[in-house]
Amino acid sequence: MQSKKNPKVFVTRPHMPPLDSFNHLLKEIWSTKVLTNNGPFVTTLENQLADYLEVPHISLYSNGTLALIAALHALNIEGEVITTPYSFVATSHALWWNNIKPIFVDIDPDTFCLDPGKIEEAITEKTTAILPVHVYGRPCKAAQIQRIAQKHGLKVIYDAAHAFGVKQGGQSVLLEGDLSILSFHATKVYNTIEGGAVVCRTAEMKNKLSQLRNFGFVNEVRVLRPGINAKMNELQAAYGLLQLETIDQQIANRKQKTLLYKSLLKDVAGIRCYEDLENVQYNYGYFPILVESAVYGKERDALYYYLQQKNIFGRRYFYPLISEFEPYNQLPSSSTGNLPIAYDISRKVICLPMYFELEDKLIIEICTSIADFSVQNS
Ligand SMILES: Cc1ncc(COP(=O)(O)O)c(C=O)c1O
């Protein structure tokens, strides 16, 4: 007899606020009819997020990609920018939209983030900035990156799309570099359906970023810069305010699931989990494993498709590398020889399902399947 399959389990599932609470705020929006253009919910969310994240200023955007495009523009970044191939493709696309050439540098095998030891050799007279990514919310080696940036007069813009609420040594990682961007896409730990933000230090920069997201308008009759339309709307912001009420509970819940996964996988030979650092407060947004096929006995993709047969839809984040996609694969820095660690990790990684409502019994089933497959005859 065939065993009954679980319903499809995806890598993530958004946590949503109670519908009644959202309806309550929608009624308010319906009565004021303020839908967008820096309305009261956006302003309140900006203040509450800055408090929650312990950062001086936040400018909300309609999504993380536009936040990154605007952040690069706000700092007048041009020429070449050193970045990582091991990220979501939006990281490099934001450079492309600013007419900037990405220069890919390999990643650090411990953090999976840009390797500071390889940055300097990639700097040329055209380099103006470094764009690292806190992949899976694991902090980059920011102190080293900052030293290099200072030595060469470069700006640092962090793609912190995964790093909502992450702290190192008690301080938000969003305070590193010149600017950081966040994504509040539905797949993220903290979501506003679609959404994003730029985190900055001064009111002046916040002002500039808030003008940039609104066509460059300074006031009714003055357009100072060629801005874009990247405004967060009031419905997104109202939803975001409700999300903030439960975010600590959501992160604690993910931590418990992470610990369960780790305890169940610790004796499966050939499956590597990430070791948390003691001084880091993570958000547990992702649960990546590395499949060391020589030890595990099966290839990563074989496991990936085996899990799919069981209705477990993990994701191979980040495979292929950004540098392998057509807009970038002809760049000299995209060669596999230049990016051996990123290439290797991208061929080993699977992100397993991780979300608030994921039941422990499913985590147990997933881990049992992973252990069983290792010893199955091919
Ligand atoms: C690392 C990274 N950068 C940028 C983005 C783009 O964010 P958004 O989808 O909000 O535009 C994402 C995710 O979607 C991401 O994972």
Cβ of residue 183 lying under 6 Å from some atom of ligand 1:
yes
pLDDT, position 5: 74
Return the ligand 1 atom nearest residue 68 CA.
4
Q: How far is the CA of 182 from the centre of ligand 1 (A)?
A: 8
Q: Is residue 2 part of a domain?
A: no
* CATH code of the domain in which 355 resides: 3.90.1150.10
pLDDT, position 376: 87
Q: Using the Cα atoms of residue 246, residue 247, residue 252 and residue 255 in order, give the sign of their dihedral.
A: positive
For residues 51 and 234, give the distance between their C-alpha atoms in angstroms, rounded to a whole number. Answer: 20
Given 222, 242, 262, which residue is the final one in a domain?
Answer: 242
pLDDT, position 290: 98
Residues 150 and 236 in one domain: yes
Which residue ranges of the chain lie beneath pLDDT 50?
A: 1
Distances (CA, A) of 195 to 149, 213, 333: 29, 12, 31
* Closest-CA residue to 132 (of 100, 64, 66, 85): 85
DSSP structure class, residue 316:
-
Residues 162 and 272 in one domain: no
Given 227, 242, 257, which residue is the final one in a domain?
Answer: 242
The count of domains in the chain is: 2
Rg (CA), the chain: 21
Q: How far is the CA of 304 from the centre of ligand 1 (A)?
A: 23
Residues 87 and 216 in one domain: yes
Cβ of residue 12 lying under 6 Å from some atom of ligand 1:
no
Residues 206 and 265 in one domain: no
Using an 8 Å Cβ cutoff, are 162 and 114 in contact? no
Distances (CA, A) of 117 to 203, 218, 377: 34, 42, 42
For residues 212 and 205, give the distance between their C-alpha atoms in angstroms, rounded to a whole number. Answer: 10
Residues 179 and 209 in one domain: yes
Strand duo 171-172 + 287-291: pairing: unpaired
Q: Which residue out of 11, 63, 65, 135 has the highest number of ligand 1 atoms within 8 Å of its CB and is therefore the one to mutate?
A: 65
Q: Is residue 348 part of a domain?
A: yes
Q: Is residue 4 part of a domain?
A: no
Token pair 């799919």 is found at 308
Residues 259 and 227 in one domain: no
pLDDT digits (tens, 9 = 90+) for 31-78: 999 999 999 999 999 999 999 999 999 999 999 999 999 999 999 999
Determine the residue type at 268. Answer: V
Q: Cis peptide before 109, with omega less than 30 degrees from 0?
A: no
Q: Would you state the structure tokens that stand for residue 139, as one six-digit string?
A: 């902090």
For residues 353 and 169, give the distance between their C-alpha atoms in angstroms, rounded to a whole number. Answer: 28
Residues 370 and 294 in one domain: yes
Determine the residue type at 1. Answer: M
Range(s) of the domain holding residue 362:
9-13+247-375
Residues 231 and 254 in one domain: no
pLDDT, position 377: 77
Q: How far is the CA of 107 from the centre of ligand 1 (A)?
A: 19
pLDDT, position 3: 58
Return the ligand 1 atom nearest residue 87 CA.
1
Cβ of residue 11 lying under 6 Å from some atom of ligand 1:
no
